[in-house]
Copies of this chain bind each other. A is one copy, B any other.
Amino acid sequence: MGTIVIKFGGTSVATTEKIQHVAKRIIDLKNSGKNVVVVVSAMGKTTDHLLQLAGEITETPAKREMDMLLTTGEQVTISLLSMALIEKGVPAVSLTGWQAGIITESVHSNARILDIKTNRLDELLQEGKVVVAAGFQGITESGEITTLGRGGSDTTAVAIAAALNAEKCLICTDVTGVFTSDPRYVEGARKLSAISYDEMLELANLGAGVLHPRAVEFAKNYNVSLEVRSSTENEDGTVIEEEVSMENNLVVRGVAFEKDITRLTIFGLSNQLTGLSSVFTVLAENHIDVDIIIQSQTDTNTTNLSFSIKNKDRKEAVNVLESQKETIGFEHIEYEAGLAKVSIVGAGMVSNPGVAAQMFNILAEKNIQIKMVSTSEIKVSAVIEEDKMEEAANILHDEFKLSVGQEVR
């Protein structure tokens, strides 16, 4: 019997009424003759409420204790959903992260999954039970409760699907699929019927917000068939798979954008071989994500190094770098906040070398200054001023013919 892993996010289980609705969808799936593992997040406002409680205690809560606190959120959802299923006559068993065998590394608030010990899952599925597992959470080898960070429930779902060799992993969310861009900001943004892992990965990394990048990476690595679809509407979503041929006449598949970016520049960085690596080692050790990196030679002994980070990490990034100033060897640090990143993504770019130039031209034409650039085989990103972000996204969406009615199929 095939196994389906189906994930519902916080909005889909925000009230007991919505949980009842989710239970019905699960029962339909179960009745279609599948083994079903459900992965759920905390109910809507629960996490906010817990964060508020922690905030009343201290401004700097210990990360271990935050994990202890936040993981209660999903535990509430799994028990309520299991009650709803049992009430409707479907045998269901809830499992916390540790009960589901989700082993993570020993990092609090942002741990990665190392392994899934599936014996308990296997056993329960074999007994015909619907398993309702808590997303977002895991346990270290030494028995500490950890969380996977933002969007962690997606990762839990994909990892379980991979471990169980599931037929499919359905990510049910409050949108009906993956769009060419965010419809709230970009006029004419439309749903894609399919997209490749790599494209989705770029879109996810670029802040499209539908799927956590770690989840997509996991899916790609283990070749898990993913589908993003609505948690309420019964329409086809977007399939994420290895090769997407249907729409390959589209060079660009999506436009992504992301606010709250800071460009940090280290002036007079020592030109020794270790300079660059020591900067990013320090940042990595402090779990600060660095995105675009640009190095420019100034004289023979030093370079200037610019990179983009999240606004929220700026203070800590500056602190940890300053504290290692002697070891790393640099003159001073400057930063510019209030930036945004706009990106175009598409597997077709590989064979269409003019795409980046087309992007830069249209932005220049519309007087939008580009402050940093980064490219990959299937993506071009530009860092611009935050208040130009929405305009730029619409311009690019239109330029690359992504709007409703423009699609050639």
- Cβ of A368 within 8 Å of any chain B Cβ, yes or no, is no
- Asked if A78 is an interface residue, CB under 8 A from chain B, the answer is yes
7 A-B residue pairs with CB within 8 Å: A54-B79, A54-B83, A57-B84, A58-B84, A58-B87, A68-B82, A96-B145
- Chain B's closest residue to A82 (CB) is B65
CB nearest neighbor in B for A86: B62
Q: A87 to chain B: which residues have CB within 8 Å?
A: 57-58, 60-61
Given A53-B80, A57-B19, A72-B75 in contact, is the A86-B65 Cβ separation under 8 Å? yes
Given B60, B69, B94, which contacts A76 in the complex, CB threshold below 8 Å?
B69
Please state if B80 and A54 are interface contacts (CB–CB under 8 Å). Answer: yes
Interface SS of A by simple majority: helix
From 168 to 215 in chain A, residues with beta carbon under 8 angstroms from any chain B beta carbon are: none
Report if A120 contacts B (CB, 8 A): yes
Cα distance, A62 to B50, chains bound together (Å)? 26
Chain A contact-residue range equals 35 or more
Q: Is the CB of B120 within 8 A of A57?
A: no
- Rounded to whole angstroms, the CA-CA distance of A96 and B75 in the bound complex is 13
Instruction: Compute how far the CA of A86 lies from the CA of B80 in the bound complex, rounded to whole angstroms.
Output: 33
Contact B83 A75 (CB under 8 A): no
Task: Chain B residues near A71: list those with CB within 8 A.
Answer: 75
CB-contact partner of A94 in B65, B79, B143, under 8 A: B65
Q: Does A16 contact B (CB under 8 A)?
A: yes
- Say whether, besides A50-B76, A62-B86, A143-B120, A20 and B57 are in contact (CB < 8 Å): yes
Which residues from 42 to 90 on chain A have a C-beta closer than 8 Å to any C-beta of chain B?
50, 53-54, 56-58, 60-62, 64-66, 68-69, 71-72, 75-76, 78-80, 82-84, 86-87
